[in-house]
Chains A and B, each alone.
Chain A
């Protein structure tokens, strides 16, 4: 009598284990498939991603001037550099730089494949905590970030202060000799 009971209990337990495991697996898969949309909704929406590119006419910027325009919610600086600024940027030895990059490597070639050192295009955001640096200021004639005192040179490279890297160069290309497309 007791033997048969035991066997029955044994069979029941196996069934129960199976149901537990199967339910658990479905629940875990369900939870994961709900969790992902909950996390992913925080990312960039399609319209935010799409509003990505702008065109800039370089002829409108006189020598020694800087154009500031909004791209992806951030300012983009286009500076028409003076001969003196270009010379300063090119004269800096790489060993002086915290984030070494030559001035040329920070420029994009025009349709003829030549780099024109006159126009410097940068994302005008300090790489420390994201403030907008002020132009023609600081110890290196370039940009100065008022937030925590980062100094950038005339190539937008970090020279002094807490920012870790040079100001970023956005993706851009020349669509004619004088017009660039950013983004």
Chain B
């Protein structure tokens, strides 16, 4: 679908004048008439939802920055002041914090959609890799931002995460202190985290530009993974998908509003209402929910460096996925065996999240009980063992299952065209 010919005709003198100098109106008009596959379902609306999330985060973030004090003496109090005294601060601060959760919710949907319909396969590898980069920068941004309120979880989260760099052989300690700007997480760290947290969203916006450019260059994938062949396979982006996206955005905003107005703290951790104290660690350190699966992978091995490498590998593997999945068929709709493994993969991601939230030595799945010091306690699978099982599956899915299945699985027959899959054979014969 590359080189979609422009149909824009400037009507007025002013638009003609502009079109000759900077054809930005033409660009917008072409965007609106972009031919999109006619069978895109609601899983494809998360792109628009994500664009909205980014805008919400940037606007609410700029406003919060106007009231926030990036110093270890003022940070905690300034955030509390925003929530209590600044006009509409009660709305804007949770909008930013809940918004981060909503952003990750949407990006996970978008990614699972891509995995299911094979959106990473040729010719969309670069599109996929840019997407992975966006996700990586989002993670960095979220981590830096979570540090800013300077609560107990902020402080200790930052200590633990920057501690990863200390595990690097030989240069670890110097590297960590260079990143922190001191011996420990302190004022210098807070200042630079604030500066970077303000910068990275604009990098994300730039990457999103590249992501959409690549998307429009190669054309959108679709639920059957069959390329558009005729004009009847496509629909103009506006009004067909603008309406569909707008409806999905409205539903998404209802969920957002529910959390924002009724449960603004449900997705955070209560310990972040205690000001950071470098002398006292909270009993149980956990990251935000959207990092829990990676946290579980980190803790699944008893070795510091190996844990970090494994956790990093869980993300690196996404970047090389286009070359790991050997199947020619894009959509899992036509790969029943792969679909089964994919469903288990999703379950395992949730299991990892559950393990990340739990205490490693606690029993996750009790299989009876045993006697310890005369009292009977549950015995069974601990979170530690469970996270090992799920971690193995996570990597096996990418490194073994997808490469092997692509070679041995026999996919079921795909429709010849998008029009045929939408209208069925009979209708297709009539129109043909």
Within 8 A of B (CB), among A114-161: 128-134, 145-149, 161
The listed residue (B185, B192, B361) touching A73 by CB distance below 8 A is B185
A44 at interface by CB-CB < 8 Å = yes
Q: How far does the Cβ of B414 sit from chain A's closest Cβ, in whole Å?
A: 48
Interface range for B: 20 to 34
B207 at interface by CB-CB < 8 Å = no
B299 at interface by CB-CB < 8 Å = yes
Given A43-B178, A44-B183, A162-B304, answer yes or no on A73-B278 (Cβ-Cβ < 8 Å): yes
B28 at interface by CB-CB < 8 Å = no
Flag if B183 contacts A132 (CB, 8 Å).
no
Q: How far does the Cβ of B155 sit from chain A's closest Cβ, in whole Å?
A: 11
Flag if B299 contacts A148 (CB, 8 Å).
yes
| Distance A129 CA – B166 CA, assembled complex (angstroms) | 8
A22 at interface by CB-CB < 8 Å = no
Residue on A with the closest CB to B283?
A146
Q: Which residues of B contact A105 (CB under 8 A)?
A: none
Flag if B178 contacts A70 (CB, 8 Å).
no
Given A68-B279, A129-B159, A149-B360, answer yes or no on A73-B184 (Cβ-Cβ < 8 Å): yes
Given A130-B160, A162-B302, A162-B303, answer yes or no on A74-B183 (Cβ-Cβ < 8 Å): yes
- Binary contact readout B187-215 vs A (1 if CB under 8 angstroms, 0 otherwise): 01000100000000000000000000000
- Binary contact readout B75-103 vs A (1 if CB under 8 angstroms, 0 otherwise): 00000000000000000000000000000
What is the interface of chain A mostly: helix, strand, loop, or mixed?
loop
Flag if A42 contacts B179 (CB, 8 Å).
yes
Q: Which residues of B contact A162 (CB under 8 A)?
A: 299, 302-304, 307
Q: Which residues of A contact B341 (CB under 8 A)?
A: none
Q: Which residues of A contact B361 (CB under 8 A)?
A: 149
B426 at interface by CB-CB < 8 Å = no
What is the interface of chain B mostly: helix, strand, loop, or mixed?
loop
Given A129-B163, A147-B160, answer yes or no on A73-B186 (Cβ-Cβ < 8 Å): yes
| Distance A45 CA – B179 CA, assembled complex (angstroms) | 12
Given A45-B181, A75-B278, A147-B160, answer yes or no on A131-B285 (Cβ-Cβ < 8 Å): yes
A16 at interface by CB-CB < 8 Å = no
B242 at interface by CB-CB < 8 Å = no
Q: How far does the Cβ of B147 sit from chain A's closest Cβ, in whole Å?
A: 14
Flag if B181 contacts A44 (CB, 8 Å).
yes
| Distance A45 CA – B191 CA, assembled complex (angstroms) | 13
Interface-centre pick from A48, A68, A130, A132 (highest chain B CB count, 10 A): A130
Q: Which residues of A contact B21 (CB under 8 A)?
A: none
Residue on A with the closest CB to B185?
A73
| Distance A35 CA – B253 CA, assembled complex (angstroms) | 45
Within 8 A of B (CB), among A58-96: 68, 70, 72-75
A100 at interface by CB-CB < 8 Å = no
Flag if A164 contacts B284 (CB, 8 Å).
no
Residue on B with the closest CB to A125?
B184
B164 at interface by CB-CB < 8 Å = yes
Flag if A164 contacts B304 (CB, 8 Å).
yes
Residue on A with the closest CB to B303?
A162
Flag if B159 contacts A130 (CB, 8 Å).
yes
Q: Which residues of B contact A145 (CB under 8 A)?
A: 281
Within 8 A of B (CB), among A21-38: none
Q: How far does the Cβ of B185 sit from chain A's closest Cβ, in whole Å?
A: 7
Q: How far does the Cβ of A37 sit from chain B's closest Cβ, in whole Å?
A: 14
A-B contact pairs, 19 of them (CB 8 A): A42-B178, A42-B179, A42-B192, A43-B178, A44-B177, A72-B183, A72-B184, A73-B183, A73-B185, A75-B278, A128-B304, A129-B304, A130-B159, A130-B160, A133-B281, A147-B281, A163-B304, A164-B303, A164-B304
Residues on A facing B (Cβ under 8 Å)? 42-45, 48, 68, 70, 72-75, 128-134, 145-149, 161-164
- Beyond the given A42-B181, A44-B188, A132-B279, could you list 5 further A-B residue pairs with CB under 8 A, ordered by the A residue number? A42-B192, A73-B278, A74-B183, A129-B304, A130-B160
8 residue pairs, one from A and one from B, having the closest CB atoms: A73-B184, A129-B163, A72-B183, A131-B281, A129-B160, A130-B163, A132-B281, A130-B159
Residues on B facing A (Cβ under 8 Å)? 156, 159-160, 162-164, 166, 177-179, 181-186, 188, 192, 278-285, 299, 302-304, 307, 360-361
